[in-house]
A and B are shown apart, each in its own frame.
Chain A
């Protein structure tokens, strides 16, 4: 009955759009009927969303059993993210060098939101816990050194920008040094009160000191969520870099040398890729766990190596394909005839022309690695407790989802961890999409 009504409404909207079509001018004139039906449907959907949002908020059916809170949070999140992305882009357009401003002008809101999110994750990951003073000094010294070197390579402007960035970074580090980390408690710190509910309201079983409550053995969930950024994102980043080092090196070697090198490398990669990745990873992790015994750090190290090798097969495929396209160019032939060695060929002639597709792949690969780590941790063989990790946290807090009707905030706890994973994945993809669009030269 309801379905029929919905269909009828859509059809009516489409027909009315068709009528509107005649009145439209130039740009709309050539659009097909489907376009109008689509616009009609989208408009109706928007109306339905707004209606549901306010109905559940102000006229709940049963005040004791709140309804639609997840829907409202999602919608609020969407709006907030959109606005923050837009503001970040406006900020980028107004501040910075001519080059960076042009970059921001060419960005869609999705990409600027992606960049903002990635920066926020990096910030949280770096400053989750207290940082040592030596790190502040290190940032200042390395920044100054790099800026100094750029003077010779890229000129005075680049050096000024370098020093500017160094000053900002050092100042941030210094502030964070005195603040002593973002997380209010340690990631493995066990506090006296376990099973506190989130919300910080003492009347409903919470504690203002623990905004998101504590878990079964009394660890602060907010702190663990913040530390999770450092562990999950950091380990995923290291793993991806390693995968690119392995896959990229062999891929370019295979493309440049060809012949036997190519055959051997490619067949090994084929063999590795023939086994479903997650199952293969599980298998290897089982072996690795047996080797490592109860040493949690060693298990994590094995996991990094295993995932890096498995993912490097995909990187190999891409860098070999990209490399092959570049190797046939005349400038490579010219360099070979000049007598250049392999290292020069790969790093100075091929790599600069392969950066765009490789960077895009880096973004995507990072997401896959990140998800694999979370999946392995969820299954209990990834990052080991007491180290906080989002995958493990989803598993630990998973049963709270049963309280969705009575206490939405409690049920949201595992969703926050999962959402943190999802948000970063989406953000990275936004940026990658934009970069691919830029490098492929597609316009309009």
Chain B
């Protein structure tokens, strides 16, 4: 949009970060041109400097970072050299920020509307009463339920998607010229995400606000941005109009990003009917205290197969995993392993039963003890279950490290904090493998990772399955992952199995209505996808509302 006036002009921006006492450059000369009313998408893997650049465009750096070169101009004002009072008069008033986790960004001790009205009253845009009226109209605009009343709730009384929209409303409170969105939908389910995306797009259009939209999800950025800029390790890779970028990326790196979603594994033939399943979940009913969570779950997992369990958060996926591992003994029903019922409580299972069922966790950060070296983390199950010690143990640990494609000599004495996210997840896999199990539960193992890294993990898991004839239960809310790795799919909704069957059947119509809703809510790379979907369904018929109707 060259006809509109230039709002943000970043030239040759260099940012340094501090590790100990040494400053290293993390952003190497990035240029940004953003015109009024335009949305620029910044994409890249973690460590690409997306967030750092987004914050720098507001004239801000995190602790331990500094702008070491280049200029940042906002509407002609030099933000790098602006004084604190000067910045104070801009931030919140003309530049606003929407963070990834709204739950962590709202102050839990104040009501939403009190936090909303703080900026406009402080900047003198509105009086308190007008600000409240405006907040209500913004809540309505963002399609929050009960806009008159919702502002008087505390952050914990509102769901994640609603909170994210309330945060967007708050950013809008002074009608800023620029909003920086830092991964606003990454932590949300597909059905909730679509709601927030529609709301953000609507309001940005309506008030002609310029936006920097930071994300690692290509399909999302395709819906939101007018132009896309691809970043890699603090360098600009390329920048182009959204449609051009999607249709014809120039650089190899961009092409590799585009290609990630194409990893699909061939579906295995269904197991013979008379084969005893490795794990058989029989009519499991479970509750937390008096709150029922699972209402009679039934399915089988056969040797060498992957069963993907999908559903929104709160549908009982993780609870099911807890029932299988024995952390939450079910109220009724049982879990059979190789045709034999496992004791309900993990404390009553013997060492061999524990060994056969292993788990890989979503957050590798909390799944690995930060004070133990890789040698100890992987070595412990080797010693504990197989009784290997000394040299034999060391050999086995090195062998496992090779299996997960990490160089033993380099990694064996490191602490988890010295590894990247993907490497940590690999260690989690190695720890599970060390027990030599038959069955592994993978609880959202790729959802915290970048797409390229996630793809590597999926490929590794697939190879290990072929090699060791492992069975996986793959818990996820990402349908792209399901498409890539599953043999069978179990769709869960509100503690029940909504639909189950082989992958090819599940992904071809006709669908169960809920499966259909999940499938159609997954963003596609087509930039018109969201518009088409909204036209088809109407803005009131997406996300949670639709989910309730289907249920």
Which A residues form the contact surface with B (CB < 8 A)? 29-30, 329-331, 333-334, 336-340, 349, 352-353, 443-444
Contact = CB atoms under 8 A, between A and B. Distances in A.
Interface string B332-363: 00000000000000100101001001110101
B64 interface: yes
B361 to A, nearest CB: 5
B327 A337 contact: yes
A30 B82 CA distance: 11
B325 A337 contact: yes
Contact of B384 (A331, A340, A353): A340
7 contacts: A330-B367, A333-B327, A337-B359, A338-B384, A349-B369, A443-B63, A443-B64
Contacts of B368: 331
The CB with the most chain B CB atoms within 10 A, among A30, A329, A443, is that of A329
Given A338-B354, A339-B351, A339-B354, A331 B369 contact: yes
A334 B63 contact: no
Given A29-B83, A30-B84, A334 B435 contact: no
Contacts of A331: 366-369
B345 to A, nearest CB: 11
Interface residues of B, number: 30
A30 B83 contact: yes
B431 interface: yes
A352 B371 contact: yes
A334 B354 contact: no
A349 B384 CA distance: 15
A330 B431 CA distance: 13
Contacts of A352: 369, 371-372
Interface of B: 63-64, 83-85, 325-327, 346, 349, 351, 354, 357-359, 361, 363, 366-372, 380-381, 384-385, 431, 435
A337 B346 contact: yes
Given A353-B371, A443-B63, A444-B63, A338 B435 contact: yes
Contacts of B63: 443-444
B397 to A, nearest CB: 16
Contacts of B326: 337
Given A30-B83, A330-B363, A336 B346 contact: yes
Nearest to A353: B371
A353 B372 CA distance: 10
Contacts of A333: 327, 359
A154 to B, nearest CB: 11
The 10 A-B pairs with the shortest beta carbon distances in the complex, nearest first, are A352-B371, A330-B367, A30-B84, A331-B369, A330-B361, A330-B366, A339-B354, A329-B366, A339-B351, A353-B371
Given A339-B354, A443-B64, A334 B359 contact: yes
A45 B406 CA distance: 62
Nearest to A328: B366
B366 A338 contact: no
B390 to A, nearest CB: 11
A206 B361 CA distance: 76
A349 B371 CA distance: 8
Nearest to B354: A339
Contacts of A339: 346, 349, 351, 354, 384
B361 A334 contact: yes
A353 B368 CA distance: 12
Contacts of B346: 336-337, 339
Nearest to B84: A30
B65 to A, nearest CB: 12
A353 B370 contact: yes
A444 to B, nearest CB: 7
A340 to B, nearest CB: 7
Contacts of A30: 83-85
Contacts of B431: 334
B295 to A, nearest CB: 25
